[in-house]
Structure 1
Amino acid sequence: MKKYVGTIAILGALSLTAGNAMAEDSSDPIKIVTNDWTSQVVLSNVVGQVLESQGDHVEYKPSDSQLQFTALASGDMDFQVEVWEGSMAESFDKSLKAGAVDYGSQQAVTREDWWYPSYVKDVCPGLPDWKALDACAAKFATPETGTKGRFLGPPADWGKHYSERIQALGMNFQEVPVGQAATLWAELQAAYDRKEPIVLFNWTPNFIEAKFKGEFVEFPKYEPDCMTDPKWGQNKDAVYDCGAPANGYLKKAGSKELAEKWPKAAAIVKKISLTNEQIAAAASLVDVDGLTPEDAAKKWIETNQDTVKSWLQ
């Protein structure tokens, strides 16, 4: 707390002008969702600290990245700062029909898909085309996957369908999901140090893009029908025979109670719109600089005072 005491002064000096005529916010805590990747946790703390500076009370509620939408629709949770199209669109859309609220898109453009460090192209010519990757599958094999190439996948609860994609495209790969995101980066660093072939799940915005040069694998271009209509795409008997959206949205979601019980807070969160660089910087404060999420949020607020001020005007 002492290290970033200036943050409290910064937030205290900012006043909420758009909403002074609104009813007072409830004294009940706003339940902010936290997930298991760094930028989301840091930015949830950013939002929480900003709302607290305006007199609101908050609680941070850990949640599965898919089940959170049921909680938002039912009012058991109230706000989520990072809704990623590539992994959450289906659950998010269902939650809107059940009562959750779309709090708008952010400036950031997202992508979540298979990724490899640049040096892999030296041993697998033809990348980033997925067919070239599949032709090199044996170079990615491990004792765990036998003759199949290993794709190091995200935690199972992130709602991806990579095993189904492998099957739909007839690839000679096997997905091996990790238990937590940090394992992805540890495996990447180990492979990078030894210049060993690796293909793994990655996303942008993310601090990784500033640390490692690499590229996403290019699969058949995403279309919504790919996820629901077997007749779409090259495999007429299966869905998921395409890549993820290459220019996905990043949205915010809330409960319907958010605007009803906390109108001033709702006015703030509607204005939140972050860039790829700001989101990557939030993750870097923890994953590179070693701060706690709470201290990272304080530091982020200090560095982005103009942005925070715009939310409060």
Structure 2
Amino acid sequence: MNVTLKTGIATIAIVTGMAAPAHADAIKIAVNEWTGQNLSAYIAGAVLQEMGQEVEYVTAGAVPQFAAIADGSLHFQPETWTNNVGEIYPKAVDAGDITVVGELGLRPLEGWFYPPYMEEQCPGLPSYEALYDCAQAFAAADTFPNGRLITYPADWGTRSNDQVAALGLPFQPVAGGSEGAMLAEMKSAIATEQPMLMMFWQPHWIHAEIALNVVEWDSSSPDCLAGVDQSRGNACGFAQASVQKIVSKDFADTWPEAYAFVESYELSNDVQNALIQRVDQDGLSVEEAVAEWMRDNEATWRGWTS
């Protein structure tokens, strides 16, 4: 997946405090750094346009976007992963400045993924306990003797770094430059059976192409994850997100028909994975993939507008 969008329609602006060219009545939809979210955003926008609404797409960082939605300069984010939202999001929701409309329908899994051949080099995997004894099997020249852990891009949050620090794991987190860079490194490592441990997620088309296993923790129960300080022997791993649709606080009053659509809008892992593959593997632009899906699934999207 390349996070440089192949887009040719819509007004694009970076949420950095700069004024974006805008129409007062346009619904501004947040566009983030990964293809799946781009597809969620552009499908929503295409349906809204079919309903007669004016739409603008605004590029926005996964965490900075929430301040813009809370102050009304952005209006709609169809794919909010709740375990990567920073501090602003829950406060804005509690204050009523952001409205959670419901879940999109995706069922995610996030964690530390590795290729199956690493289990020969690191006996004890998939348990995280094995990582204490075989960090050097994951080492690179710039991290030795510590293992190398590829994490999300820096502006996606620090959860992997926090996990390494909390558990005292002998690993050095290295931020991926982008989703596309992470995938390129993943494929390169696996092609030559080099060591690789990477924070990644599902749904994603890569899991249909490459076999990946995921590190297992002591517990993933809500009780363990609910504010418990993690330590060796009590490692909860990562809270698994729900994927929420959110809007600005005045959205329902300003665009009641659009709000009703947002309530009905849903996507499954299977639908999104197939669309991601059309973009990232087959070379379609996001708009082309969305137009194809809209053409082939009219009964589905019209059902969201009735």
Length-normalised TM-score, structure 1: 0.84
Q: Which residue of 1 aligns with 2:35?
A: 38
CA–CA distance in structure 2, aligned partners of residues 48 and 141 of structure 1: 44
2:219 counterpart SS class: coil
Q: 1:226 Cα shift?
A: 6.5
1:262 correspondence with 2:255:
yes
Q: Which residue of 2 aligns with 1:133?
A: 131
8 Å CA contact 1:115–1:200 kept in 2: the answer is yes
* Percent of pairs with identical residues: 34
1:191 correspondence with 2:184:
no
8 Å CA contact 1:165–1:242 kept in 2: the answer is no
1:112 correspondence with 2:110:
yes
**Greater helix percent: which structure?**
1
8 Å CA contact 1:113–1:202 kept in 2: the answer is yes
1:244 correspondence with 2:238:
yes
Q: 1:119 Cα shift?
A: 2.4
1:52 correspondence with 2:49:
yes
> Which residue identity lines up with residue 84 of structure 1 in the other structure?
W
Q: Which residue of 1 aligns with 2:19?
A: none
1:67 correspondence with 2:64:
yes
CA–CA distance in structure 2, aligned partners of residues 182 and 131 of structure 1: 30
CA–CA distance in structure 2, aligned partners of residues 142 and 235 of structure 1: 24
Q: Which residue of 2 aligns with 1:281?
A: 274
1:209 counterpart SS class: helix
1:143 counterpart SS class: coil
Equivalent runs, 1:1-313 vs 2, <5 Å: 28-88=25-85, 91-98=88-95, 99-222=97-220, 229=227, 232-234=229-231, 242-246=236-240, 248-313=241-306
> Which residue identity lines up with residue 278 of structure 1 in the other structure?
V
Deviation larger for 303-312 or 63-72:
303-312
Length-normalised TM-score, structure 2: 0.85
Structure 1 unpaired stretches of 5+: 1-25
CA–CA distance in structure 2, aligned partners of residues 226 and 155 of structure 1: 26
Structure 2 unpaired stretches of 5+: 1-22
2:114 counterpart SS class: strand
CA–CA distance in structure 2, aligned partners of residues 279 and 244 of structure 1: 23
CA–CA distance in structure 1, aligned partners of residues 123 and 28 of structure 2: 49
What is the Cα-based RMSD across aligned positions, in Å? 2.3
